[in-house]
Amino acid sequence: MSADIATAVPHASQDAASAAKTPAGTGTTITSGLLPRINGPGDLRRLPPGRLPELAGEIRRFLVDKVSATGGHLGPNLGAVELSIALHRVFASPRDAIVFDTGHQAYVHKILTGRQGGFDRLRQAGGLSGYPSRAESVHDLVENSHASTALSYADGLARAFQLRGHTDRHVVAVIGDGALTGGLALEAVNNLGAAPGRPAIIVLNDNGRSYAPTVGGLASHLATLRRPGVPSPRPGVPNVFESLGFSYLGPVDGHDIGALEGALRQARALRRPVVVHAVTVKGKGYGPAENDRADHMHGIGVLDPATGRPHDVPGAAPPSWTSLFADEMTVIGAEHPGVVAITAAMPGPTGLAEFATRFPDRFFDVGIAEQHAVACAAGLALNGMHPIVAMYATFCNRAFDQALMDVALHRLPVTFVLDRAGITGPDGPSHHGMWDLVLLGMIPGLRIAAPRDATRLRELLHEAVGHDGGPTVVRYPKANAGPDIAAPRRLGGPDGVDVLSQHGDQALLVAVGPLAGPCLAAAAQLRHHGVGVTVVDPRWVAPVSPVLVELAAAHHLVVTAEDGLRTGGVGTAIATACADAGLTTPVRTLGLPREFIGHGERAHLLAAAGLDHRSITASVLEAVRPGVPGRTAPSPAGEPRPVGGWS
C-alpha cells in the first residue's frame, strides 16, 4: 500500500498507513488493469501520462459497476474522472488541501486514495460514506454535503496556511456550477478575490447543470465563457472572476487530462487567487447517464448497468410522499391561482416538476439558494401570492433566519413543504432532516403539520394553503407513504387531533406523522400486556393543540414519538404545555438523539433510535411499569376509566 502522504493536514489522527483504510467490507478487489496498482496519489503520479486515458476508462467502468449495484451519485462522478486524476497528479494531498463542494462527486477521489475496496458497501451502514469522511482518510476534509461551502473552507484553510507560514502548500476548492449559485459561495468569492497574497485555487467543475440546467445570470455568464476559446463575455471585457480579483484560466476541456494538468500547474505557479474553469459533461462516458434528460443520473438507485434501468420489480411500489405531493400540487395549482411554487435547484427531487410544466409562470427555480428562495417567497407573499417553498428539510436549516425574520415576523402566508424530513438514510448526517421540528418549532406564529398518510397529506396541504395568518410547514420523510390510517374521531374541530385508537388511560401515545403506524402497532402489543393506551395524531404538531393537554389530563402517562430530535421538538413542547397547565402527568419523549447519525437504511436507523414499534412498546411498558418490562398486570386504575366526554 503506497503511502505518499507527507504531512497530514493537522486534523488527521491517523497515520499514513491507515490513511487509506477502508471500512471493513466484502469489497471485491479489482485484479486486472491499472486500478489495482493505484493505492494512493503517489501511484497515480508515477503512471506515465500515456496510460492515464486507460485509467480513466477503468475508473468509469468501476463507477458504473459499483454504483449501479449500490445506488449513489453516478452522473456527477462520471463527470469528475479526469478532473480528479489531474488534481491528484498536480497537487500533493493531504499536504495540499483539496476540498470538494457538496462532496457527492468525490467517489473518484476516494478510488484514487485507496478506498476502491469499500465501494461494495457504498452508503451502507458501516460502509463507505457517499461523501468525504475524515474517519476514512486524511485526504478527506469536508464531510458536510450541503452545497456552496467549499470556497469558504478554502478561504479559511488559506488564511491558516498563511498564518502558519505554510506558504508552499496549496488550497484547491472544487465547486460545481450549481453550487456556485449558492449565496455562501459568492460571499467566499468576495473574500478570496480580495486577497492576492493568499492564493486559493478554485476549480469550477462546470457541466451546466445542478439536477436540471443551472439557472440564473451566473449560469448564462458561464455559458458564454464555456464557448471554446472565449475567456470573457466580450473581447477585452473581463469576466466575472477577473472583475473580482481572480486570474481566470479557461475554459478547459474537463475530460482532457493533459489540458487539465497544464491549467492546474499554471494555477499552482501563479501563487494568487485563480479560477480554473473546467468544462465537463455530467454522466460522461456512460450512455444512459449522458442521455438522461432529467438529471444525467445525478443520483440513482440500484439499476441494471447494461440498460441503465432499474431491475424489474414485480408489483407496483406504494407511492412515495414526494409523488403524492407532486400530484396534489397540480390540484392546488388549479384551485388556487395565487399559489406559486419555488425550488432551490431541485424541481424533480422535490416533486415540483409537474407543477412547473402545468403552471410555468407560477414556478420559480432560484438555483441552490435556499435563503434567497425563502426571502423571495416573503416578497411574493407581501404582494398577495401564497408561495409554496419545497425543499429537503435539512437544506431549510440555512434559511432559518429568513423563515423567522423575513416570513414569520411579517406573518406572511408562506408554506414550506419539507421532504426528507427525519431520518433519510444513505446520505448520512448532513442529510437527515432531523432539525426542522426544533428549529421551526420555535418560530412564533409558524404552524407545522406532519401527515401520517396520503389522505392527511392532501388534507394538510390544503389546510396550509388556506391559512393566510402566517407561515405553515408540511413535513414528511424519504419513504413510501403507507396505507391510509383512518381516525374514528377528530377532537377540536376540523384542524384538530385525530384519535386513532382508544383502549385505556394508562398512556396517551402521541404520534407525529408516519410514526402513527408504529404507534398503533405498539398499542396493539401493549394491550397484550394488559396496558391500555390511547393513540392520537395531532396532524398540526406545532403549536401544541389544547386538545392534547386535555387528553393528557385524562391519562396516567404521555409518550410522544417523533422522527426528529428527541429534545426540543414536539414532545418537549407538549411536556411544556402540560406543565404550564399544571398537569403532573409524566411525559416521555421518543425521538432522535442529539447526535450526527451516520448513513444506513432508514428503517434500521429509526429502530436504533427507538422509533420502531417494538421499541415504542418497550418504552411505554418501561414507563408504565419501570424495571419490569413485558409483565402483564392490571391497569393501576383498574378498568380503563371513561375519560372526559369522548370515551
Ligand X SMILES: CC(=O)[C@@H](O)[C@H](O)COP(=O)(O)O
Q: Which residues are annotated as a binding site?
A: 104, 145-147, 177-179, 207, 286, 370
The site string for ligand TPP over 261-290 (x = CB under 6 A, - otherwise) reads ---------------------x--------
Question: One of 60, 66, 169, 398 is an active-site residue; which one?
Answer: 398
**Does the protein bind ligand TPP through residue 131 (CB under 6 A)?**
no
Q: Please, are residues 112 and 41 in contact by the beta-carbon 8 Å criterion?
A: yes
Q: Please, are residues 591 and 563 in contact by the beta-carbon 8 Å criterion?
A: yes
**Does the protein bind ligand X through residue 371 (CB under 6 A)?**
no
Which of ligand X, Mg ion, ligand TPP, none is residue 451 near (CB under 5 to 8 Å by kind)? none
Annotated binding-site residues for thiamine diphosphate read 104, 145-147, 178-179, 207, 286, 370
Q: Where do runs of H (alpha helix) occur along 444-545? A: 454-466, 516-528
Whole-number Å distance between alpha carbons of 419 and 564: 13
Question: One of 370, 463, 550, 562 is an active-site residue; which one?
Answer: 370
- Rounded to the nearest 10°, the torsion over CA 441, 462, 360, 396 is 10
**Does the protein bind ligand TPP through residue 147 (CB under 6 A)?**
yes
Closest CA to 234 of 247, 220, 224: 224
**Who contacts 93 (Cβ-Cβ below 8 Å, separation ≥6)?**
5, 41, 87, 113, 139
Annotated binding-site residues for Mg(2+) read 177, 207
Q: In the complex with ligand TPP, which residue's Cβ is closer, 78 or 267?
A: 78
**Does the protein bind Mg ion through residue 178 (CB under 5 A)?**
yes
Q: In the complex with ligand X, which residue's Cβ is closer, 109 or 588?
A: 109
Q: Is the dihedral of CA 146, 569, 539, 445 positive or negative?
A: negative
Q: In the complex with ligand TPP, which residue's Cβ is closer, 115 or 146?
A: 146
Whole-number Å distance between alpha carbons of 382 and 407: 9
CB of 228 to ligand TPP, least distance (A): 20
CB of 420 to ligand TPP, least distance (A): 10
Whole-number Å distance between alpha carbons of 589 and 573: 10
Among 105, 133, 191, 619, binds ligand TPP (CB under 6 A): 105
**Does the protein bind ligand TPP through residue 435 (CB under 6 A)?**
no
Task: Check if 187 is active-site.
Answer: no
Among 346, 352, 450, 544, binds ligand TPP (CB under 6 A): 346
**Does the protein bind ligand X through residue 427 (CB under 6 A)?**
yes
Whole-number Å distance between alpha carbons of 511 and 539: 9
* Residues in 262-301 that interact with ligand X by CB under 6 A: 298-299
**Does the protein bind ligand TPP through residue 152 (CB under 6 A)?**
no
Buried b (16+ CB within 10 A) or exposed e, 14-28: bebeebbbbbebebe
Q: Contacts with Mg ion: how many residues (CB under 5 A)?
A: 5
**Does the protein bind ligand TPP through residue 372 (CB under 6 A)?**
no
Task: Check if 398 is active-site.
Answer: yes
Among 424, 501, 534, 619, binds ligand X (CB under 6 A): 424
The site string for Mg ion over 598-617 (x = CB under 5 A, - otherwise) reads --------------------
Whole-number Å distance between alpha carbons of 294 and 354: 12
Q: Please, are residues 208 and 219 in contact by the beta-carbon 8 Å criterion?
A: yes
**Who contacts 300 (Cβ-Cβ below 8 Å, separation ≥6)?**
67, 68, 71, 72, 73, 74, 75
The site string for ligand X over 393-422 (x = CB under 6 A, - otherwise) reads ---------------------------x--
Whole-number Å distance between alpha carbons of 547 and 549: 5
Q: Please, are residues 171 and 96 in contact by the beta-carbon 8 Å criterion?
A: yes
Among 22, 84, 145, 424, binds ligand TPP (CB under 6 A): 145
Which residue is listed with cell 469489497? 27
Among 349, 422, 428, 470, binds ligand X (CB under 6 A): 349
Task: Check if 82 is active-site.
Answer: no
The site string for ligand X over 104-143 (x = CB under 6 A, - otherwise) reads x---------------------------------------
Which of ligand TPP, Mg ion, ligand X, none is residue 394 near (CB under 5 to 8 Å by kind)? none
Which of Mg ion, ligand TPP, ligand X, none is residue 345 near (CB under 5 to 8 Å by kind)? ligand TPP
Number of other residues whose CB lies within 10 A of the CB of residue 224? 13
Kindly list the strands in the beta sheet with 97-100, ordered across the sheet, starting from the edge strand earlier in the chain: 97-100, 171-176, 201-206, 274-279, 247-253
* Residues in 208-247 that interact with Mg ion by CB under 5 A: 209
Q: Please, are residues 393 and 421 in contact by the beta-carbon 8 Å criterion?
A: yes
Which of ligand X, ligand TPP, Mg ion, none is residue 299 near (CB under 5 to 8 Å by kind)? ligand X
Q: Where do runs of H (alpha helix) occur along 400-477? A: 400-401, 436-439, 454-466
Closest CA to 465 of 484, 449, 443: 449
Which of ligand X, ligand TPP, Mg ion, none is residue 368 near (CB under 5 to 8 Å by kind)? ligand TPP
Phi, then psi, of 463 in degrees rounded to 5: -65, -40
The stretch near ligand TPP (CB under 6 A) out of 99-107, 445-453, 494-502, 522-530 is 99-107
Which residue is listed with cell 497544464? 262
Closest CA to 43 of 94, 109, 103, 114: 114
Which of ligand X, ligand TPP, Mg ion, none is residue 179 near (CB under 5 to 8 Å by kind)? ligand TPP
**Who contacts 474 (Cβ-Cβ below 8 Å, separation ≥6)?**
415, 416, 417, 418, 449, 450, 451, 457, 460, 461, 464
Q: Please, are residues 568 and 542 in contact by the beta-carbon 8 Å criterion?
A: no
**Does the protein bind ligand X through residue 209 (CB under 6 A)?**
no
Q: In the complex with Mg ion, which residue's Cβ is closer, 278 or 508?
A: 278
Residues making contact with Mg ion (CB under 5 A): 176-178, 207, 209
Q: Which residues are catalytic?
A: 282, 370, 398
Residues making contact with ligand TPP (CB under 6 A): 76, 79, 102, 104-105, 145-147, 176-179, 205, 207, 209-211, 282, 298, 344-346, 368, 370, 395
Residues making contact with ligand X (CB under 6 A): 102, 104, 145, 298-299, 349, 420, 424, 427, 478
